A and B are shown apart, each in its own frame.
Chain A
Amino acid sequence: MTQGEPATKNPDKGYVALLGWSLNAVEALDRFDRRYVVVAPEWAEKYCVDHEIPYVPWNFERLNDRSMEIAETLKDAGVDVAIPLYEETVEWAGAINSVLLDNPRLYGQAMLLRDKALMKRRAQLGGIRVGIFEEAHDRDDVIRFLKRVNQTLLKLDGDPNDPIHLKAFDKAGCLGHRVIRTPDEIDMIPEEEFPVLMESHLDGWEFAVEAWVHNGKIKFLNISEYVTLGYSVFVPATPELERYRPQITAQIEKLIKTFDIEFGFVHPEYFVTSDGEMYFGEVAYRPPGFKVFELLERAYGFNAYQALVLAFDPKTTEEEIDAFFPREVVDASGIAGCFGVYPRRRVVSELEIPEETEDDDYYESHDLSTPLEETVTKRTAFGTHWGLVYFFGEDPYRMRDLLKKQEELDFYV
């Protein structure tokens, strides 16, 4: 039957506030037993009112004197905990939760998780291996860093440089991520992007982890394998990567201890080098991009947003959360992956899924948009893809090859 009514709510369980608007999250919570309220900018109001979605308007700009106001509002409403859905709402969640849970340290913790430079320092202090990094305030800083790094690597004049990576301090994922190999490329960086974080390039296999934490313990740990960074990801990973699971688990335990994380959800990125050494890249305290939550639901059948609520809700019991999660890897019904499409041509007129892709058994769906303009903006940084193509199948290696193959195909012609 068409569902016109939300699921029955359990008054003995927690009441959560979602910070930021995500239809997928709202939709998942709507059919879950926790009471919830959406805290989002005013543009979401009409939609929420029209569809009877509990809603509090709030503009997440920079934290200011009014920050207490939203915390108090939510407290008065009986909300137990706030859950950040986007990078921009992580510090808000920290500020609000420090009030709701009466724990001022949560705010400081959130600030650590929001600033990539602070984050790396804290990790380093906790004994976690990180690459070389530094903040840059102008182009000269970048030139100096590029030279230093390559000096350290004992490169001679004329040898090709090892690249360095530039990232915004407080942006999610690939936004503002640039790879720099030569001083010429430094001139291309617009003034307004500074200050940035600079990192040495780690040659290794990059992967991401999604871990749900309850009472300081990992309740579910997923390893997301990247085929090509910024293009494709799939879950669960190949056995090749999964064999590092014990070491990876140990790393995450170290991470949550270092960052003092008692509950919630972390999404860190690591490199594993050929000798099995793990390097920490960064960690986010919010759901990952690239629709990994949706992939997890496809592969395992549990809803990752509902899992998020369980991990944040102080009223969740150990038994409840243990019963919610399936067993990692073995309980997955298959491998779910997705590929981010960027137009390959300079001028495109229509969306056309390649027959090769469409005919593949693993192909399931896509959320690509029809082109609005014919000329494709030249990509600077990593940029934003035009949508994702979803796949599902049994064999992780076939999935990996299939995703790799997509990079050579034109989806926009």
Chain B
Amino acid sequence: MKPTVDVSGEAATLDKRVTSLDDAIQAMAETRDFGKHTKLRRVLEALRRVLIQPGGAAAVQARAQALEEAGLFQGTDWASPEILVPALVSGSLHSGDADTVVMEATSELRMLAVARGDFAHPTFPAEDARQFLSQVLAKNLELLFSAPSEAERVQQGRTAQLVRALFRHLAEEIGYDSVLDDLVDEIWRILRQRPIQVEAAQSLITRIAIYRNSPDVALGVSSGQGIDRLISSLYGTTEACREDPGIDVFRSRLEAMDAGGLQYEATGFARAMHDTGLVSPYHAELLRFLLSESEHLYLVGEALGLSDTGRNCLLRYSQLVHRLIEVAVHPQTAQCIYGLALLLDRGILYEPPVVPALWRQLALELSPVAHERLTTVFGETPGPRARLVAGVLSMLGLPLGVGQGDNPTCQSARALSMWAYNDPDYLLQVVVWAARDDEILMHFEGRPISSKDSVSGVASTLPLDLDPVSLLVVPHLDRIYAEMGRRCAERPGDPHRWVNPEFHGWWTGRGFHINVDVATGNLVDLDEFLRQFHASYHPSYNGEQPLIHPQPAGVAVTDSAARYVGWHAITILRVAPDPQDVMRVYFFNPNNDSGQDWGDGVVVSTAGNGERFGEASLPFDQFASRLYIFHSDPLEHGEPERVPAEDVARITGYIERSWGNDRLPGGTLQALERPTSL
């Protein structure tokens, strides 16, 4: 009988707490707007105490309308559900501040009440609410499947369990099927940007695979379209590994195969890899097997799915490529195969310094610091040298796949990406300095800056959530970047004028344009700024000159309500008409997910508008409306006077409706924006 006693005890506790909550809601409802905040604390405490009880989420859901009408959300972002963004929910739910968690959780339960038709919301339709929640669940699926991480436990204590109870309730009410569809779409959307780091996507796919095989789950026929492709690209790509048999069984099957069978395997893996951007661990085993038998070597190109250029490179430098595979490609580092394939396709091995630099990389002795950092983050197998070579292959193959992780180091990530894209042998040089010498030396206006002497960078702690190259190099770059900023501290105006060219490379335009007055933070010379930007970058005003080198630029990032969030470093890659003949700026955002809604109709696109993998894009004038810093060649003048006044006015309108609305002080280093992650 004991369980019954416990259950009824729990129910009694919940009843009491719910009564207290009703009382608190009532008190808040009776209060006129100016006094609401005096009743807030009691409502929040009551909510939290109800939410941590079993059945508490349902009780709050039932009171969602009463809570909103009492004014709980008044004066906060939650007051307008139509501006809420599913991607930001996770941040609030993982907040160390219990009140934020409670508000966010209550808002989700309100969405649920709206979605289920129990609460006819004045500004938010049920269908939108359902969609919102599906996306929230999709982005936070780990909350459904896993226990709190150590970090959550330390930071949130029991609140972490509250959040999990909330998600179980949400998923039960909304249904897993719809979540799965959105989740799969989301994974595809991220993968289409071809990030170097795919661990988050891999772990989600793995969890879905486990979930789908669970006997308790009956999925609708149509649910999870496209998930099969993702799961199979990791665990059952080809005939020989269809049922995920394990590496040893797979290897023995390969050994028993004839040439036709192997060819079939090779093309199967290559197709899956180029299709999804994901690489199966079996793919690594196949490559290692092909290398072990000289009669199969001709299939390496097949297994990499190379273009003509790639095949040429492979034939010309086969010894190097084979050695790279031997050292770097293991089931644990399979993802670097994709980097290797794209590296070959890019043809950069034909640049004279790259091949010898890669040989140096293969033989590199790591400093104890580098050795330790790599093994701490990635483990012992394969060893740190293999990890680093794998990381180099990924970065050279996917220069636009570099991400800053959850760190304020957008400048350093941008620099790595730019070098990988534009100056690969310099990147290889920088990696050697960081990995072998544990020191990078750069010059600022002729004076040396050592990463060892500089005290602190933009990031306060050493980042851990990065790819192998970034992991070793970013801390050095970050300190140098910060030191360059310090050396400009006394100068009037924005430090990027001097720092950007010295930090990134000679090709950075020495002409510098900024539309924010550093001293006051107010907008200045807007008309001139926008005309110059057209004259430098827009083919119609710069003499049809395509952009030659990637150029660093600074944008004012805004949230989905078009409110200023922070300064952010990006790279302008090219300006060209898209398939609909709209002139677009294609750029690289070191943020891990470039697809962001910047408000006022400015939605950054990552696919479907002519973007290459890893590129983000906006129509030219929308891009110009978020730009605050760009570089240009001062000797190329273009035709600024030809830019129509109405174009300038339209862009100015975008600025005034967003970050230009009430100008904040500028002049800090571009490092404030926190990226969102998958």
Interface of A with B (CB < 8 Å)? 1-6, 23-24, 26-27, 30-31, 47, 50-51, 53, 355, 358, 361, 363-367, 390, 392
Chain B residues with CB under 8 A of A5? 32
* Contacting residue for A392 out of B20, B35, B74, CB 8 A: B20
Contact A23 B35 (CB under 8 A): yes
Question: Taking CB as reference atom, which chain B residue is nearest A370?
Answer: B97
Q: List 12 A-B contacts (CB under 8 A).
A: A1-B29, A3-B31, A24-B35, A27-B35, A30-B32, A31-B32, A363-B49, A365-B24, A365-B41, A365-B45, A365-B46, A392-B20
A-contacting residues, B1-41, CB 8 Å = 13, 16, 20, 24, 29-35, 38, 41
For B24, B34, B49, B69, which residue has the most chain A Cβ atoms within 10 angstroms?
B34
How far is the CB of A77 from the nearest CB of chain B, in Å? Answer: 22
* Contacting residue for A2 out of B16, B71, B158, CB 8 A: B71
Contact A364 B20 (CB under 8 A): yes
Contact B41 A4 (CB under 8 A): no
Q: Is B42 an interface residue (CB 8 A)?
A: yes
Docked complex Cα distance between A3 and B71 (Å): 9
Q: Is B162 an interface residue (CB 8 A)?
A: no
How far is the CB of B657 from the nearest CB of chain A, in Å? Answer: 26
Contact B71 A364 (CB under 8 A): no
Chain B residues with CB under 8 A of A26? 34-35
How far is the CB of A8 from the nearest CB of chain B, in Å? Answer: 13
Question: Taking CB as reference atom, which chain B residue is nearest A5?
Answer: B32
Docked complex Cα distance between A30 and B29 (Å): 13
Contact B46 A24 (CB under 8 A): no
Chain A residues with CB under 8 A of B41? 365-367
Chain A residues with CB under 8 A of B46? 364-365
Docked complex Cα distance between A106 and B406 (Å): 68
Chain A residues with CB under 8 A of B71? 2
* Contacting residue for B34 out of A51, A358, A363, A390, CB 8 A: A51
A-contacting residues, B584-628, CB 8 Å = none
Q: A367-B41, A392-B20 are in contact. Are A30 and B74 (CB under 8 A)?
A: no
Contact A358 B32 (CB under 8 A): no
Q: A2-B69, A2-B70, A2-B74 are in contact. Are A27 and B32 (CB under 8 A)?
A: yes
Q: A366-B45, A390-B42 are in contact. Are A4 and B32 (CB under 8 A)?
A: yes
A-B contact count (CB 8 A): 62
With an 8 Å Cβ cutoff, the count of chain B residues facing the other chain is 22
Chain B residues with CB under 8 A of A363? 45, 49
Flag B45-78 by CB within 8 Å of A: 1 or 0 each: 1100100000000000000000001110010000
How far is the CB of B559 from the nearest CB of chain A, in Å? Answer: 25
Docked complex Cα distance between A6 and B46 (Å): 27
Docked complex Cα distance between A6 and B30 (Å): 10
How far is the CB of B209 from the nearest CB of chain A, in Å? Answer: 38
Question: Taking CB as reference atom, which chain B residue is nearest A390?
Answer: B42
Chain B contact residues, majority secondary structure: helix
Contact B34 A53 (CB under 8 A): yes
For A3, A5, A23, A367, which residue has the most chain B Cβ atoms within 10 angstroms?
A3
Docked complex Cα distance between A367 and B33 (Å): 19
Chain A residues with CB under 8 A of B35? 23-24, 26-27, 30
Q: A2-B71, A51-B33 are in contact. Are A361 and B13 (CB under 8 A)?
A: yes
Docked complex Cα distance between A287 and B13 (Å): 34
Docked complex Cα distance between A361 and B35 (Å): 27
Contact B34 A47 (CB under 8 A): yes
Contact A364 B42 (CB under 8 A): yes
Question: Taking CB as reference atom, which chain B residue is nearest A48?
Answer: B34
Contact B70 A365 (CB under 8 A): no
* Contacting residue for B30 out of A3, A23, A53, CB 8 A: A3
Given contacts A47-B34, A366-B41, 18 further A-B contacts (CB under 8 A): A1-B69, A2-B33, A3-B29, A3-B33, A23-B34, A23-B38, A24-B38, A26-B35, A27-B31, A27-B32, A27-B38, A30-B34, A30-B35, A31-B30, A51-B34, A364-B42, A365-B24, A366-B45
Docked complex Cα distance between A31 and B20 (Å): 22
Docked complex Cα distance between A224 and B56 (Å): 34
* Contacting residue for A31 out of B16, B31, B45, CB 8 A: B31
How far is the CB of B39 from the nearest CB of chain A, in Å? Answer: 9
Contact A3 B45 (CB under 8 A): no
Contact B49 A358 (CB under 8 A): yes
Chain A residues with CB under 8 A of B16? 361
A-contacting residues, B104-133, CB 8 Å = none
Chain B residues with CB under 8 A of A51? 32-34
How far is the CB of A26 from the nearest CB of chain B, in Å? Answer: 7
Lowest 3 CB-CB distances: which A-B pairs, in order? A27-B35, A51-B34, A365-B42
How far is the CB of B636 from the nearest CB of chain A, in Å? Answer: 54
* Contacting residue for A27 out of B24, B34, B70, CB 8 A: B34
Docked complex Cα distance between A221 and B34 (Å): 31
Docked complex Cα distance between A6 and B34 (Å): 11
Chain B residues with CB under 8 A of A365? 24, 41-42, 45-46
Contact B38 A3 (CB under 8 A): no
Q: A1-B69, A27-B38, A364-B45 are in contact. Are A6 and B20 (CB under 8 A)?
A: no
Chain B residues with CB under 8 A of A23? 34-35, 38
Docked complex Cα distance between A412 and B630 (Å): 49
How far is the CB of B11 from the nearest CB of chain A, in Å? Answer: 13
Question: Taking CB as reference atom, which chain A residue is nearest B16?
Answer: A361
Docked complex Cα distance between A23 and B41 (Å): 15
